[in-house]
Structures are given as structure tokens and as C-alpha cells.
Amino acid sequence: MRITGRWLLVSWLVAALVMLGLDGRLTAFLAWATPSTLLALGVGALARQQRAPSFLDRPPLPYRYRVADDLGQPIAAVIAAAEHEATLTSGPTAPGSGDELRKHQREVRSVRR
């Protein structure tokens, strides 16, 4: 809708509200329109919330992100986790993931010390 169409719509709405006010029906209209509008907005918000994906259904974060979020981890461990995951074929069941990755990180830590 172009700007002209918006101005036309607004002018008709203002004219309708003025006519309702002159006729004495503006308060009745507002008493009906306000709760109806709030009800429609509330139902829309509830439907939008119910359709949103649950945060409980999200897949777990990859191990490299959990390592990166742990501020106590040295940067070498974070880099090692990312490099190790980059060498994997794919997914959490790929060879070298899980316990192998933790073992690799322990080795990196022992080398740094």
C-alpha cells in the first residue's frame, strides 16, 4: 500500500470516528472495539507462543561449544577441540568424538604443562 492509500485509509477512519462521536455512539464503539482488539491480540500471541519450537527439543551443543563457553578452559583446549572436530567425518558418532575428544584434550593439557 502506497503512502496515498494509507492517508486515504486514515482519513476515512478519522471521519468515521468523528461521525460516531457526533452521533453519540463513540463510547459504545470504543467499549466494544477495545476488548475485542485486546482479545484478538492475546489469542494471536498465545498461538504464536504455542507454535514456537520448545527450547527443550533443541539438540545439545557440540562439545567444542561447551568447551568454548567454559571460561576456565585454556585457549589451547578450545582450539584443540575445534581442530579435532574439524578432522572428524561428521556427527557425534563419528570416530574420534566424545571420549576420544576428551582424551585428546587431556593430552594437549599435559603437553602445555
Q: Lowest-confidence range among 17-26, 41-50, 71-80? A: 71-80
| Number of structural domains found in the chain | 2
| Same domain assignment for residues 47 and 67 | no
pTM of the model: 0.41
Picking from 51, 71, 86, the residue at the C-terminal end of a domain is 51
pLDDT at 111 (0 to 100):
64
* Residue predicted with more confidence, 80 or 17: 17
10 Å CB burial of residue 77 (0-12, 13-18, 19+) is buried
Mean residue pLDDT across the chain: 80
* Residue predicted with more confidence, 3 or 112: 3
- Average pLDDT for residues 59-85, to the nearest whole number? 73
Task: Give 17's contacts (C-beta < 8 A, 6+ positions apart).
Answer: 26
pLDDT at 75 (0 to 100):
80
Residue-number span of the structural domain to which 31 is assigned: 3-51
